[in-house]
Amino acid sequence: MRLRCPQCGSKGFFSSWFKVAERCPQCGIASDRVAGHFVGAVGFNTIFSFGMLLIVLLLGTWAMYPDIRVIPLLAICFATAIVMPILFWPFSQTLWMAFDLAWRPADEAELDPRHTMGS
């Protein structure tokens, strides 16, 4: 959640909000560990964004009940559907990679030899 490398915790894992570095500058782990690795992050982002959309829809309905104004509610939901995936994008990248590393820890071949020496 701090947008640091899920393997070593160092900064520099992102070159911009939308762009993950090819490799961590500290430990050298690739941000795209296997072909299609990013699909998991897209899945995390989709689940989070739809969850937030559901919360906004339920809170909006609850706040306006019984006189629900559909157009303003849809406008708020639409804005949530646009903004949430953008805001959550980098977090979905690091969270997915952290889950992936928990299930399938990095072997030494994936890491920079300078990082693993002495450990």
Map 59-109 to HEC letters. Answer: HHHHHHCCCCCHHHHHHHHHHHHHHHHHHHHHHHHHHHHHHHHHHCCCCHH
Q: How far is the CB of 107 from Zn ion (least distance, A)?
A: 14
Which stretch in 5-13, 35-43, 84-92, 104-112 sits in contact with Zn ion by CB under 5 A? 5-13
Smaller CB distance to Zn ion: residue 56 or 99?
A: 99
Q: Give the residue from 15, 91, 19 showing the smallest Cα distance to 52.
A: 91
- Does the footprint of Zn ion cover residue 8 (CB under 5 A)? yes
Q: How far is the CB of 28 from Zn ion (least distance, A)?
A: 7
The amino acid present at 40, given as its one-letter code, is G
Residue in 1, 2, 3, 5 binding Zn ion, rule: CB under 5 A: 5
Residue in 20, 26, 48, 88 binding Zn ion, rule: CB under 5 A: 26
Q: Which of residues 35-74 bind Zn ion (CB under 5 A)?
A: none
CB 20 within 8 A of CB 14: yes
Residues within the interface to Zn ion (CB under 5 A): 5, 7-8, 24, 26-27
